[in-house]
Amino acid sequence: MANLYPALFSPIRIGSLEIKNRIAMMPMGVFSPRLMGPNGAYTKDGADYYIERAKGGVGLIVTGLLPVGLYPKGRGPGDSGEGFHQYIEQQKYLASGIHRYGAKVVVQISALTGRVSTHLAEPAACEISNVWDPTKKHRQMTREEIQAYVEKFANAALACKRAGIDGVEVHAVHEGYLLDQFTISATNTRTDEYGGSLENRLRFPCDIVRAIKARCGKDFPVLLRYSVRSYMKGFNRGALPGEEFVEFGRGLEESLVVAQKLAEAGYDALNCDNGSYDSWYWAHPPVYMPKACNVDDVRVLKKHVGIPLICAGKMDDPRLADDLIARGEIDMMGMARPLLADAQIVNKFAAGALDDIRPCIGCHQGCLSRIFQFKDICCAVNPACAREKSYGVGRADKPRNVLVVGGGLSGMEAARICALRGHRVDLHEKSDRLGGVFIAASAQDYKEDDRRLLAWYIRQMDQLSVNVVLNSTVDKAFVSENQYDHIFVATGATERKLDTQGLSGPNVTYAIDTLLAPEISGQNILIVGGGLTGIEIACDLGRKGKTVTVVEACDTILNAFGISAANTNMLLEMLDFYRVTVLTSTTVTRYENGVAELLTTVKNFPNAANRAKMMYTVGPAGIPIPSFVKADHVVVSVGYSSNCRLYEDLQGENVHLIGDADKPENVLKAIWDAYDAARKI
């Protein structure tokens, strides 16, 4: 077969390390006890998660971070005690497993997190406010602690080398973590040798690489995770793509100098993206971010440094990556979440089978959200991620006749898994196309990956010979007349309606029809409902120049379970950028003649300093205050109610209720419900 992407699949050297292709797996944290042991080495399950990606064709794997200072003295690889030697022995399985498939592995070793930690006892570069609670401050890290950390980095790197690991990546002058806080003047007000001038601010990460090279040898590769730009407008405020702003963190001009100095200090490659926890959506791009969002900054950096640059950030297009590498604008393509969604993505690149790739949809529900819930890393669209061996799909002992009712994501996932297990599957869908509510959910122009996922599922139905019957309504009589061993009820959910006066007129649409409509007329738009769908609609209409007001009955917006802070914060910035007005604790009482009557319940919530916000107490129920807003069009997005009547009619041990028909929640639940139930049949 001809090499479709010759530059992408050409070898590259990072220091003394030769890598078979230009595709690197970016760090995706593995912190749960099932995946990471008490001394920082990966368990067999944790190592197998990475080995599966090596098997999938990736050239270089950069593991999730190893916090070298987290462990009690003598317990971790950053010390020279028993934990150091245990780490070496336990990591050998990871190294040998990855090498078996011709890939190379680099362990990311990390300092503390400073102001981005949820633990206020952690020191920062200087006394500075916490990201999550700006009313609280972290203390300044002492010089003795800094020097102790340099030693821990050197020890941890040596442990990795002795375990057969190919190199280390220092975490990080990146994303606003501790080392990044030292390098940026806005987050480092120290007056000693670690603050002030740029040379002083870079002393900590430069001392680290020198110590590692002294301990492990100059030919032991050391990479650095690096944010080219911070995209900060201030503390807790990020800039959006294309927004004009004054950089509060590290700007591009200074970044060029910083990168040169880091290379001179001894770093062999820079693993690049952008952002900080104040602009978290750059480092962890949600669905709302453009593809290859960091390329423009990395290609500028490439003109000024001679060491290899890896570019990450929604980099899942092999054609684009091949072109960028061929033109010398980047050196390697970095992917993280796409490798969670489909561990075989690199092999599929090589085979030209792009339509067979299960895409990441940028939801962060199974990866980031779960990591910070202290659960196993996984993937919303790939329930077997990080548990491929224990939770995979095998062939059933005996083929069964299976009926799936409903052709949304949950129904198609149930049909897919049953077909993979060797069962005969009939899928009945009441409409004239597959996709269910996900057709509307994927309609906005930036949701190309959602549409790719939908197309992938439909392709799976064809490839696995699932008998799809459209325009078919299934009832109890149909089931009685046919012989099925198992029945999956994936009948979805129905939009909730409001009986508010005026909300059934011609200028009122509900969420699904709104998403499917080509255009909404009128300038002033009222969105009723501040959940994820309502806010996405509000941002999209604001982007198109509409004057948008959102009303939400609850005291906060975006209350859906599992939304990552990266997604939430970007949506909040978009609301501000597009000048969307948000009114919480507010309901619509009437809509008439282009005017909506609102009722806002004012409550005496504490202010940012945790003190009284109002000059008097209003009681637990608050004060209802009426107001009026002009609305040429009203969009109602107030959630969904499960459509489970068929399940209630059928009942039985062989009848399985899945997805929104069980409980409307998110893509993760819809797919995981189906996967879990279907793999047991």
- The type of residue at 71 is Y
DSSP, collapsed to helix, strand or coil, labels residue 203 as helix
How would you class 132 by CB atoms within 10 Å of its CB: exposed for 0-12, middle for 13-18, buried for 19 or more?
middle
- The type of residue at 607 is N
List strand residue ranges (DSSP E) for 450-505, in order.
467-469, 486-489, 493-495
Are 137 and 50 spatial neighbours (Cβ–Cβ below 8 Å)?
Answer: no
List strand residue ranges (DSSP E) for 241-400, in order.
269-273, 309-311, 332-335
Interior angle at CA 571, CA 567 and CA 572, nearest 5: 115
DSSP, collapsed to helix, strand or coil, labels residue 213 as helix
Closest CA to 436 of 467, 462, 465, 457: 457
CA 73 to chain centre: 34
Closest CA to 271 of 497, 480, 62: 62
Query: Which among 42, 50, 177, 578 is annotated as catalytic?
Result: 177
End-to-end CA distance of the chain: 38
Token pair 């006892």: residue: 121
Q: Running DSSP on this structure, what letter comes out for residue 132?
A: S
CA 314 to chain centre: 10
328/167 Cα distance (integer angstroms):
24
Token pair 């806080």: residue: 181
17/221 Cα distance (integer angstroms):
7
Helix 203-216 to helix 252-265 angle, to the nearest 10 degrees?
Answer: 30
H or E element, residue 86: helix 82-99
2/528 Cα distance (integer angstroms):
54
Are 61 and 106 spatial neighbours (Cβ–Cβ below 8 Å)?
Answer: yes
- b/e string for 340-378 if b means 16 or more Cβ within 10 A? bbbbbbbebbbeeebeebbbbbbbbbbbbbbbeeeebbb
Question: Does the annotation count 177 as an active-site position?
Answer: yes
Would you tell me how many other CB atoms lie within 10 Å of the CB of residue 598?
A: 20
DSSP, collapsed to helix, strand or coil, labels residue 536 as helix
Region for residue 551 given its phi and psi (left: phi exceeds 0; alpha: psi -120 to 50; beta: otherwise): beta
Are 609 and 602 spatial neighbours (Cβ–Cβ below 8 Å)?
Answer: no
Question: What's the token pair of residue 434?
Answer: 């597959």
180/245 Cα distance (integer angstroms):
21
Are 173 and 180 spatial neighbours (Cβ–Cβ below 8 Å)?
Answer: yes
Interior angle at CA 50, CA 154 and CA 269, nearest 5: 45
* Rg from Cα positions in the chain: 27
Q: Which residues are catalytic?
A: 177
